[in-house]
Structure 1
Amino acid sequence: MIRQAVLEYDHADDALDRLYELVSGRRAHVLRGQNGYDVVRDIYPAITDYPTTQFRGECTDAEVERLKQKDIDVLIAIGGGKLVDTAKLVAYQCNVPLIVIPTLASNCAAFTPLSVVYRKDGSYDRYDIFRVVIERVIVDPRVIARSPYEYFRAGVIDTVAKFYEARYLSGDSSIDAGVNTGLALAEQCGRLVELDLSKAAFESYSDDIRFAVDHVLAVGGAVGGFGDAGTRVAVGHAVHNALSRFASTHAFLHGDKVGFGLIVQERLRRSADASYLEAWLKRFGAPTTLETLGIGPDDIPVLVDSVMTETELQQLPAPLNRGYLKIIFENLQLSIYK
């Protein structure tokens, strides 16, 4: 099934300035994050015309229930991925359209018809797919350029993961038109490793950065929208979900943990890309060992069990080899791969 949630995507130097016309007198309510809202307010002071509710930081069932709104015509989400995922569920359950103003280029939440839901302790629970209408994603460089570089870096890694996971699931091509389109988009995402996405480039908002932002926020989300289960998540995200059970990993961003999961996935595939990918992640400042993530040797059996449980819920082309998975984790405890 092909699913797309976004009617309009506006990445322009004055994108925020068109918000008033889009709302057009409707009763709007803003779900706001802790930091990015102030940046938006500095650039677009009229945002204070709309009532707001503060997001508490996790996309949980309890948080969605708390944030349900009555007597509104449109919900405006201003923040990062977990806030946007929460806003999509709120908009869906309240049957109102959504406008998304990302304050971070850290994931594709603004473009996908799904939400990643967590438990109260911060560990991964599930992801829900549902129909949601996002009227417009408003990407304003004046906002994104003032966000922390580390979030952009993690977003790029998560977007590059679209290529590796889609290829793992469906190979290089498919007779299914939706999956084949998803694979083509995923290949574009994989090419982000060739660009200058350094901190200096990010702060200057270079052409490479603008191109990457579009892939992080939009194109990456469209991969799963077209390819569905044939391109959506594989071992990389299964490892992320398993890692989220360990408190030591909660300080790391989603993309950082997915990047480590990609190393595991490509080692499982015995892929020639594994060493190149690991070297790129190191240059990008992402964690490439379990030690860095705070996972000790005694934790590996639990980690293996968790990954095996996660992958049983996915449509992988073949079951994982538990013994080989354990060996890979043991080798990545520090780093002995050459």
Structure 2
Amino acid sequence: MNLESFGIRLGERFQCECGKTHEIYIKKVLLSENAVNYILDVIEELNLSGSAIVVDDEITRKIAGIHLIEILRQNNIPVTEYTILKPTIEEVNRVARSMSNIDISIAVGGGSVIDTCKLASYKRNIPFISVPTTLSHDGIVSATASIINEAGQKETYPCRSPLATIFDLKILRSQPKRMIAAGCGDMLAKATSLKDWELARDEKNEYYCPTAARLSLMTYDEVTKFINEGGIDIAAFSMSIFKSGLAMAMIGSSRPNSGSEHLISHYIDISSRNPAMHGEQVGLATILMSMYHSEYNKNWWLDEKYQWYYIKSMLKKINAPVTVERLGVELDVLIDALVEGYKLRPNRYTILHKRPINKEEAVSLLKNTGIL
């Protein structure tokens, strides 16, 4: 997994060159064909026991939720099932209330299910196991949850990463290709997010962890390799997604993987009548911000593999949207996202905080990248 070269061991603490002691909460990663069938082995290895709750949605309960529940019940483990409708803070609180007599929580699904269960488990201080059924974003093992708050807007809540993650390759190979393309879009964002983080370090004296940054950057190279080799090595992509989330989990922040490109996507989520998938929006925004960085950040990457046109070629190769029309988001919303998006997080310093863009420049940026 190449983690020991970073000084990282699962389930342990380590003293980092950044001056902090990082705790790696996650203890187990299982990646194999039919990995769900080994849920009992994972529970035993983690020294867990007692009753369990399986959190899923209407789709993922059919993919793996029902099967997982059957395995647990056949082995005399009391199981409660909770099928979520929407990743809202109200739903999180309902799930948390359902955990009053629960010892183990297991999430089966994509980001919405995992984040809902992750935050509810954190509120209840219950060990949490994730079973992703898609790889559409890189937050599967992060220590944050993206949840719709009471105002109807997505908010990032601090919590704790799962104790274990089970990547079932048979399930993950059957996910729609659009999900994989979206995951690639989220992963390619490192090109801009890491440079935004460096800007914040250099200009605002923000905390910066070189270890987390290097780990995050390594996954960028891995995802370009995955795309160039046809986007078929789901095992390798799963581990890249895992390591990307680990970079966030170890510092308790999305900072390594989330910069100006994510602020643009968050604005679209709030303002568009027809938002696209998270990773699709982030991927397209990464094209825009990589060109913007190259023009206004003197410390932008020199290597071609981080330039806007290369990122665009990667997204095209994996069949992710690289035009406004294909993304399906209203043009005026995308322009406003470029101009106003950075205001959503005044303390998340990025190239857009350093040099805000006006509408005329936003339109030019869209045209110059061929997105418009």
TM range, smaller chain: 0.7 to 0.9
Pair 1:246-2:277 in alignment: no
Q: Distance in 1 between matches of 2:163 and 2:331?
A: 48
The SS at the match of 1:76 is: strand
* CA gap 1:214/1:145 in 2 versus in 1, 3 angstroms: same
| TM-score, length basis structure 2 | 0.76
Pair 1:162-2:190 in alignment: yes
Identity %: 17
Q: Distance in 1 between matches of 2:255 and 2:224?
A: 25
Q: Distance in 2 between matches of 1:110 and 1:323?
A: 32
The SS at the match of 1:89 is: helix
| TM-score, length basis structure 1 | 0.83
The SS at the match of 2:140 is: helix
1:321-332 matches, within 5 Å, as 321-323=355-357, 326-332=360-366
Gaps of 5+ in 1: 203-207
- Tell me what 1:126 maps to: 155
Q: Distance in 2 between matches of 1:63 and 1:282?
A: 36
CA-CA distance at 1:14 after TM superposition: 4.7
- Tell me what 1:205 maps to: none
CA-CA distance at 1:13 after TM superposition: 2.6
* CA gap 1:296/1:189 in 2 versus in 1, 3 angstroms: same
Q: Distance in 1 between matches of 2:370 and 2:352?
A: 27
Pair 1:34-2:58 in alignment: yes
- Tell me what 2:80 maps to: 51
Pair 1:284-2:318 in alignment: yes
- Tell me what 1:96 maps to: 126
1:1-338 matches, within 5 Å, as 2=22, 4-23=24-43, 25-40=49-64, 46-47=70-71, 49=73, 50-56=79-85, 58-68=86-96, 69-119=99-149, 124-130=153-159, 132=160, 134-170=162-198, 179-197=209-227, 202=232, 208-216=233-241, 218-226=242-250, 228=253, 231-250=256-275, 252-270=276-294, 273-299=307-333, 302-316=336-350, 319-323=353-357, 326-332=360-366, 336=370
Q: Distance in 2 between matches of 1:45 and 1:27?
A: 12
* CA gap 1:326/1:3 in 2 versus in 1, 3 angstroms: farther
* CA gap 1:22/1:279 in 2 versus in 1, 3 angstroms: closer
Question: 1:152-183: per-residue Cα shift (whole Å, max 9, x none)?
Answer: 22112212223431233127x99999711112
Give yes or no for contact 2:172–2:234 (8 Å, CA) kept in 1: no
* CA gap 1:334/1:54 in 2 versus in 1, 3 angstroms: farther
Question: 1:25-47: per-residue Cα shift (whole Å, max 9, x none)?
Answer: 41001101222232225765734
Amino acid at match of 1:187: L
Give yes or no for contact 2:227–2:314 (8 Å, CA) kept in 1: no
CA-CA distance at 1:105 after TM superposition: 1.7
Amino acid at match of 1:17: N
Gaps of 5+ in 2: 1-19, 74-78, 295-299
Moved more, 28-37 or 316-325: 316-325
Q: Distance in 2 between matches of 1:275 and 1:290?
A: 16
